[in-house]
A and B are shown apart, each in its own frame.
Chain A
Amino acid sequence: MSITKLNETALQSWVDRLIGQHQVYGVKAKGDRFAFGPLDDAAELRLDYDVTILPPKKYFLPQSQELLKFSRRGAYQPVGEPAPFVLFGVHPYDVVAIAQMDEVFSKDNHDRHYMQRREKAVIVACDVQKASPNVFAACMGTATVQEGFDVLLTRIGDDYLADARTPKGEALLQRIEGGADPDPASLARREQLWQDLNRFLMRHELKCAPAKLPGVLDQQEEHPIWKKRAERCYSCGSCNLVCPTCYCFDVQDEVDWDLENGRRVRRWDGCMLAEFALVAGGHNFRATRAARYRHRYYRKGKYLWDRMGQIACVGCGRCVTACTADIANPVEVFNTLLEDR
C-alpha cells in the first residue's frame, strides 16, 4: 500500500472529486462545535476539529432506523440495501470504537442492518490536530491507530500524508491529483507526532493501564461512589448517547392510518434512562439512579472485557463534556476505585 504527500490545494480538489463521485460524510462546524454531516463542498471539511458532538457510529447505527415494513396479516419486507459512502476525517479513538462495534454486531447475532452499512463504508481516518477539552485517548491506547481504516491522513506542517492501508483505500488514493511521494523527513515527523499524541492526548490521567480496569471494578458493587455521584444524575442518557461504544437500541412498531401496514423502527437507547431495564410485568431491574449509574461503569470497564476482551471506553471524553452534572468522567470514577483498593 502507498503513501502520498499532498498540499492543502491537492487535498481540497481530491475531496471535491470524491464528493462528485460518492456520498461523502465529513466533519463540519456546528455552532461552536463540530459534527459529521454530508459534505457538499471540500471547503466545509474541518480536519482541524477537536471532537464531534456525536460519534460517527450514527452512519452504521442511525439514531432512528427503519428495519422492515410489515402488514398485520403477517407479511413483511426488509428495507433496501444501503448506498456506499465515504466517511472522512474519523479520529483514531473513533476508529477503535467502530472496530469494537463491528465485533459486537458481527458476532453472535449477526446484525445485517449494521454490517451492510459497515461494508459499504470507506473510512478515511485523520490524526488529531487539536485536543478536545476532555480527551484522554492517550490513557486508553487510542490516541493513534494503525488499523481499522482505509486511509489515514496526517497533517505535517502545511501538507498532509495520505496513507492507504487497504485496497479500498488504495483506490481512493488513485484519485489524488498533484500528490508526491513522501519524503523521509515527513515520515519521521509523522512518527514523532504519533509519539507525542500517545503522550499528550490526555486531559485526564487514568492511574492504571486499561487492562487493569476489570480488576479495579471487581467486588466494588457496594462502593459509596455509585450512590454519591448518582444523586446528581438526571437519568438523561447524554453520556450513553454521545458514547462511540454504546450500542443499545429500542425497537418499536409504528402503524399507518390504515391500521394495517406499518414499519419496525429501532432507535438509540441508553442504560442510564429510567425505563431501560423495565420489563413486561412492570419490574425494573435497575430502578434506582445509583444502580443505573454503577451499571454504566461496569459495562465500560468489566462486562465487555469479560465477553470480548476489550475495554468499552476509547477516551474520547464526549461523556465528560455532555454531562452537565459533571458526574460522567470515567477517569475520576476509576481512579477513585483504584485509590480505595
Chain B
Amino acid sequence: MSKPTVAIFDFACCEGCQLQIVNLEEELLDLISVVQPVEWREAMSDKADGDFDIAIVEGSITRPEDEDRVREIRKRCKILIALGACATFGGVNKLKNKFTMDDVRKCVYGDAADMPHLSTAPTKSVCEVVQVDYRVEGCPIDAGEFTYIVRCLAMGTDPVIPSYPVCVECKLRENVCRFEYGELCLGPVTRAGCNACCPSAGAWCFGCRGFVDDPNVNAAKDVLEKYGLTIEDLNSRMELFNYGQEPAENVKNG
C-alpha cells in the first residue's frame, strides 16, 4: 500500500504548531514511515505538484487572497486537517476583530498603513472558510495528539477526541483546583486533550483548545461570585483565545 501524501501549509500565525511537528525529532522517522510529505515549508524545500491526499493547514485567514488560497488547497486534497487554535477557531488572531480594520492597520504599520499590500480583513478560522475534516486543537498543538490522529488516519479509523472539559484530565492528575487558589480557570468550559498541562504546571487554563461542544458558560457566571470574581474577569480571561465565540448563546441543555 502506498503511503498517503501530506502537504503542510501556513497562514496567519506564529507557525509554532508546524514547529511542534518538526520538534518530533527522531519520531519524525516514524511519521514519514506512514505518510509521505510533499510540501512542508519548515522542513523541506520541495513544493507539491498537483493533488495530495492530506492537507494540514495552520494559521488564520486574514486577507481575501488567503481565502482563495485555502480554497485552492481544499480542492487539491481529499482530507483537510486544521492545525492549532488559529486554524480551528481563530484563537488569539480573533482579538483583531474587536477593532476596525483601519485602526488595526494604523496600529501595526503606522504611516505605511495605506500601502495596498497591507490590506487586511477580519480574522476567520480555516473552519469558517472551507470544510475541515479533522481538527487538532491547542496553542500550540499537543504533539502526542497530532501523531495519534495521523496514525488513526493512516489506518482509516476515526480518532477519538475528548468532548469533555479540561477538569477531567486535571482531576486525573490529582491537581489542586485552581479555583481553590482564587484563580479564574477556564478548565470547566475548555475541551480536554492537553492532559491539563497548564493547571498541572501551576497556571490556570487559558482556554486555548476552544470550548467543549456544549459549554455551560452560564454556570461559569454563577460560580464567579462564590470565588469573589466578576463577569469582567471572566470576559477578559476568555477573550485571549475565544473572542467572538459567544458560547453562552449556544447553551442548549438544561
Which residues of A are interface residues toward B (Cβ below 8 A)? 30-33, 35, 53-54, 63-64, 227, 230-238, 241-242, 252, 254-259, 267-268, 270, 273-275, 287-290, 322, 324-326
A287 and B167 within 8 A (CB) = no
Closest 3 CB pairs of A and B: A236-B167, A257-B30, A241-B171
B222 contacts the other chain (Cβ, under 8 Å)?
yes
A254 and B148 within 8 A (CB) = yes
B165 and A64 within 8 A (CB) = no
Nearest B residue to A234 via CB reads B188
Q: How far is the CB of B25 from chain A (nearest CB, A)?
A: 14
Given A227-B254, A259-B34, 7 new contacts (CB under 8 A): A33-B176, A64-B172, A231-B254, A242-B171, A255-B152, A255-B155, A257-B27
Residues 142-153 of chain B: 1 if any A CB is under 8 Å from the residue's CB, otherwise 0? Answer: 000001100110
B66 contacts the other chain (Cβ, under 8 Å)?
no
B163 contacts the other chain (Cβ, under 8 Å)?
yes
Identify A230's interface contact among B27, B167, B254, CB under 8 A: B254
Q: How far is the CB of B182 from chain A (nearest CB, A)?
A: 12
CA–CA, A241 and B220, complex, Å: 20
Instruction: Given A231-B218, A252-B160, check contact A236 B34 (CB 8 Å).
Output: no
Q: How far is the CB of A291 from chain B (nearest CB, A)?
A: 9
Identify B163's interface contact among A238, A274, A288, A325, CB under 8 A: A274
Identify B188's interface contact among A236, A241, A242, A290, CB under 8 A: A236
Nearest B residue to A58 via CB reads B174
B219 contacts the other chain (Cβ, under 8 Å)?
yes
CA–CA, A268 and B189, complex, Å: 20
12 examples of A-B residue contacts, CB within 8 angstroms? A232-B218, A234-B188, A235-B165, A235-B212, A238-B171, A241-B171, A254-B148, A255-B155, A273-B168, A275-B163, A287-B253, A324-B188
CA–CA, A234 and B212, complex, Å: 10
Q: Which residues 158-192 of B sit at the A interface, judged by CB distance below 8 A? A: 160, 163-165, 167-168, 171-172, 174-177, 179-180, 187-189
B167 and A53 within 8 A (CB) = no
Instruction: Given A274-B214, A289-B216, A325-B222, check contact A234 B167 (CB 8 Å).
Output: yes
Q: Which residues 213-228 of B sit at the A interface, judged by CB distance below 8 A? A: 213-216, 218-220, 222-223, 226-227
B33 contacts the other chain (Cβ, under 8 Å)?
yes
Nearest B residue to A287 via CB reads B253
Nearest A residue to B202 via CB reads A31
CA–CA, A275 and B164, complex, Å: 8
Set of chain B residues within 8 Å of A267, measured between Cβ atoms: 172
Instruction: Given A235-B214, A257-B33, A289-B253, check contact A30 B174 (CB 8 Å).
Output: yes
Identify B172's interface contact among A241, A274, A324, A325, CB under 8 A: A241
